[in-house]
């Protein structure tokens, strides 16, 4: 698959078929992840996989449990069942249904990847430059092989239990949790705000009139569906 | 270019030809950057370009100045001119020479991209998941079009002056500075530690024997050249 096409069609995938990912494909995906840059090329990224052994199943259950709690709270708090949420064809209702199915079936997702960072200094916002590029490589390679996933942060709510269960040492950050599998349905184009709203030239909010989206681009507002 | 090939050959580029990047190519590169995921799809990433206007030239001079200071200090502190550094064919000496040329000619690099994050909560290590995936998309798209760059953090040392010069508001983080241009020389394969050292299966440091690098992979130790 051509790289620009892969980039333009690597969407967040939250509905998965239950079949496992062959190890050869996982190796290709993780090789791609490990090609990412990191600060001073220190390569302090590590990729901890949760698959089908007993410990991994326990870890996935911890994450699935907190994902359901977090989603149920958000569903109520953000009013997903009010307004257009009552119309099952609305974007809001479809988002809610997809999220509900995602968390309800979390433990069936064949693979979770925990991208971890061995910290050589105190936790700070810039450290992500040494771990999140690898996550994007991972998602793009998965896309190229017909898999999908999404960067999630639910694990943070059960991090003490996860660290103990998986023997993750002090000084190592668990930077995300990426469920991976074969998607139900296809990979449509990624939709974002128009490029003109995201690119500045020569100063903050200075327009970049050359920053035009390709012909036929469809846009999406930021954040979860409104109203 | 095929996505897995792009991922495997997107190296840090630090030597650039002076020719500008056509705006159509910049648009393609930034479109790719904007396809990246971000937390709750909030799309709080912004891409501030420094090109050839007077303000941008001042900003590049600020960053170039601090880059030279930082590199000169590191060159002395880390002993780049001792040991094998005296042998101009050694990896250490070649790294030092490449870095010296990089900082000495910083202002000639045609484009700098400042990926910025509009913060909706206090700065934290996880916020990078909303900005650094876009940096990797940007570098991969640049690679596909024959350009290259590298994620740098030198800007942090002149951040107050940069913020004032570019009118970057409070609450916005400047997450990196990525110089971009047409490379001098080619794009060789990325080299990293063997995959077996970076991938764990079912627990910290639990081996993943299936995580094998493709045949013919050449490896590189972590961090800058030693001895």
Has residue B227 got a pLDDT over 90? no
Q: How far is CA A123 from each of CA A184, A190, B38, B45, B121, rounded to the nearest angstrom?
A: 37, 31, 20, 21, 16
Dist. CA A142–CA A113, nearest whole Å: 12
- Which residues on A lie below 8 Å from B151 (Cβ)? 37, 129, 133
Dist. CA B23–CA B12, nearest whole Å: 22
For B103-157, the pLDDT digits (tens) are 999 999 999 999 999 999 999 999 999 999 999 999 999 999 999 999 999 999 9
ipTM of the complex: 0.97
One-character DSSP codes across B81-143: TSGGGGSTTSHHHHHHHHHHHHHHTGGGSSEEEEEEEE-SSS--GGGGGGTHHHHHHHHHHHH
Q: Count interface pairs A-B at CB distance under 8 A.
A: 283
SS3 B82: coil
Mean pLDDT of chain B: 95
Instruction: Return the minimum-mean-pLDDT range out of A100-104, A165-169, A188-192, A220-224.
Output: A220-224
Q: Are B117 and B163 spatial neighbours (Cβ–Cβ below 8 Å)?
A: no
Determine contact: B89 vs chain A, CB below 8 A: no
Residue B95, pLDDT score: 86
- Which residues on B lie below 8 Å from A124 (Cβ)? 123, 125
For the domain spanning B3-186, the CATH number is 3.40.109.10
Residue A187: pLDDT band with limits 50, 70, 90: confident
Q: Which of B207, B126, B197, B203 is nearest to A162 (CA)?
A: B203
Has residue A49 got a pLDDT over 90? yes
Q: Which ranges in chain B are annotated with CATH 3.40.109.10?
A: 3-186
Q: Which ranges in chain A are annotated with CATH 3.40.109.10?
A: 3-190
SS3 A74: helix
Looking at 3.40.47.10, 3.40.50.11540, 3.40.30.10, 3.40.109.10, the CATH number of the domain A3-190 comes to 3.40.109.10
For B46-96, the pLDDT digits (tens) are 999 999 999 999 999 999 999 999 999 999 998 888 888 888 888 888 889
Stated pTM of the model = 0.97
User: Residue A34's Cα: distance from chain center in Å?
Assistant: 17
Q: Which of B11, B27, B48 is nearest to B131 (CA)?
A: B48
Residue A31, pLDDT score: 98
How is residue A212 written in tokens? 């035009």
Would you call B1 and A6 a contact, using CB atoms and an 8 Å cutoff?
A: no
* Strand duo A199-201 + B45-50: pairing: parallel
For A4-14, the pLDDT digits (tens) are 999 999 999 99
């Amino acid at each position: 698959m051509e790289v620009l096409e892969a980039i333009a069609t690597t969407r967040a995938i939250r509905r998965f078929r239950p079949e496992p990912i062959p190890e050869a494909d996982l190796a290709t995906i993780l090789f791609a992840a490990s090609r990412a840059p990191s600060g001073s090329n220190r390569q302090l990224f590590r990729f901890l996989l949760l698959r089908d052994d007993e410990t991994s199943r326990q870890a996935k259950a911890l994450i699935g449990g907190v994902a359901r709690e977090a989603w149920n709270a958000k569903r109520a708090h953000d009013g997903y069942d009010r307004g257009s949420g009552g119309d099952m064809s609305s974007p809001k209702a479809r988002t809610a249904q997809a999220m509900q199915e995602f968390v309800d079936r979390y433990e069936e997702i064949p693979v979770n990847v925990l991208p971890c960072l061995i910290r050589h200094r105190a936790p700070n916002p810039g450290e992500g430059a040494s771990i999140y590029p690898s996550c994007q490589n991972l998602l793009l390679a998965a896309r190229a092989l017909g898999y999908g996933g999404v960067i999630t942060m639910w694990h943070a709510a059960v991090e003490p239990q996860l660290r103990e269960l998986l023997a993750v040492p002090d000084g190592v950050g668990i930077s995300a949790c990426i469920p991976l599998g074969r998607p139900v349905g296809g990979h449509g184009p990624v939709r974002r705000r128009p490029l003109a709203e995201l690119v500045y030239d020569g100063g903050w909010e200075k327009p970049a009139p050359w920053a035009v989206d390709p012909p036929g681009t469809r846009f999406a507002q930021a954040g979860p569906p409104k109203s």
